[in-house]
Structure 1
Amino acid sequence: MSMMDAVAPLASMALIVAALHDVAARTIPNAIPAFVVVLGLLLRAAEGDLAWGLLACLLVFAVGVLAWRYRVMGGGDVKLLAACALLPPPGSVADMLVAIALAGGALSLFYLAFRGRHPFAIPPRAATLPGRAVRAEIWRLRRGGPLPYGVAICGGVLLTLAG
């Protein structure tokens, strides 16, 4: 069993949790990118390209900080994106970023299709977390709230790791 076979399920679960948390609360807890960084560092060290992996992570983080500075991305998204740059081989980071951008485009199209419209009735207050999340998301769609870009990051990274 390769190191990637051991790391991929753990990274996938962490990314799915980040995406769900981003949808529910529009935040990504710091523990998730930290966990992904640890997995990525272990993976890059095991594959012998730690220095190149760290360089890729640093470059993605630097560009992400600029995006955060100009309010294009949230801080949690930037941290998660930089952490994820350690998961694929350094030569595949650009492919991962393209996959994330494509997933973000699909997510954007969905949100644009429903922005400001009222295709869904706001359900009554729910006692369960999923029910409250659905209610909040419908409200965000109606008012044109921000995208949960953690969903796009999760989708793009999972596509890259699967390929």
Structure 2
Amino acid sequence: MQETIFVYALVAALAIALLIAAATDIRRRQIDNWLNAGIALAAPLYWWAQGLTLWPGVAIQIGLAVAAFLVFAAMFALKVMGGGDVKLLTALALWLPAQMFLKMLVVMAIAGGVLTIVLGMWHITRRRRDQIKIPYGVAIAGAGLWALSPQLTAAMHAVGLQ
């Protein structure tokens, strides 16, 4: 894996996009399409910068994203997940190797469970049981940042921030 400043810049941009996704989901309970599209459309630049081959490298990333979309779109159809969450997870699948993506999903599920319990209790104590909407983009973004943390740490070392 060739670690270059360009790779670091792309990973840093993805980290910023994840922070924006979390912030907008907290504020508006919505993750904007332009943000998800930007994350997805930047993935080929990342593949190129990483030296990923078309076969099997890029094909695996696209296959992972298609599989993620199908699974999470089914969850959307069952009304257990928002559309912005589905698109954000699909876009992240374009960036992360399959094994790391699966680990990220476990971290996301744990963080999402904690978030759901905390916000559920908060809504109940404020007598707003009918208004519970969980900003799951926070759990997705947090897990995504966790998955990117080795590259983010390496990037900070490369530019002398650590």
Pick the TM interval, shorter chain: 0.7 to 0.9
Partner of 2:33: 30
How far apart, CA to CA, are the structure 2 residues paired with 1:32 and 1:68? Answer: 19
How far apart, CA to CA, are the structure 2 residues paired with 1:44 and 1:34? Answer: 16
- Stretches of structure 1 lacking an aligned partner (at least 5 in a row): 119-138
1:9 aligns with 2:17: no
Partner of 2:90: 82
Preserved CA contact (<8 Å) 1:102 1:156:
no
Report the Cα offset of residue 82 of structure 1: 0.6
What is the TM-score of this pair, normalised by structure 2? 0.80
**Identity across matched positions, percent:** 33
How far apart, CA to CA, are the structure 1 residues paired with 2:47 and 2:104? Answer: 16
Partner of 2:158: none
How far apart, CA to CA, are the structure 2 residues paired with 1:100 and 1:44? Answer: 24
Report the Cα offset of residue 142 of structure 1: 5.9
- Whose helix proportion is higher, 1 or 2? 2
Report the Cα offset of residue 4 of structure 1: 3.6
Matches within 5 A, 1:11-160: 11-47=14-50, 48=52, 49-118=57-126, 143-160=130-147
Report the Cα offset of residue 30 of structure 1: 0.3
What is the TM-score of this pair, normalised by structure 1? 0.79
Aligned residues: 142
How far apart, CA to CA, are the structure 1 residues paired with 2:98 and 2:78? Answer: 27
Match of 1:161 among 143, 148, 154: 148
How far apart, CA to CA, are the structure 1 residues paired with 2:69 and 2:9? Answer: 25
RMSD over aligned Cα atoms:
1.8
